[in-house]
A = this chain, B = another copy of it.
Amino acid sequence: MKATVHVFLKPGVLDVQGKAVESALHGLGWDGVKDVRVGKTLTFDLAATDKAAAETEVKAMCEKLLANTVIESYRVEVA
């Protein structure tokens, strides 16, 4: 199965990378850009064949390694 994990900083957590991208875009003339947030997306193959089991497994991976749940939230897609 194919898994996709989106990891984003929680709302309210200062996104310094996003701020840097935002001012770079402003510097290039795109002044209408606001609220830039930068996240990570991980894709991978999974040996599991059951969708529900795979989702539980990927969520465990997020809690343990892929996301820092103190400041980041994640979303899991399994297909």
A positions within 8 Å CB-CB of B: 6, 8, 18, 21-22, 24-25, 28, 30-48, 57, 61, 64-66
Please indicate the chain B residues that have their CB under 8 angstroms from the CB of A57 in the complex: 30
Chain A at the B interface: SS class: mixed
Copies in the complex: 2
Contact of A47 among B6, B32, B61 (CB under 8 A): B32
Q: Contact: B66 with A21, CB < 8 Å?
A: yes
Given contacts A38-B40, A40-B38, whether A65 and B24 have CB atoms under 8 Å apart is yes
Given contacts A21-B65, A66-B21, whether A34 and B44 have CB atoms under 8 Å apart is yes
Kindly state the separation between the CA atoms of A41 and B39 in the bound complex, as whole angstroms. 5
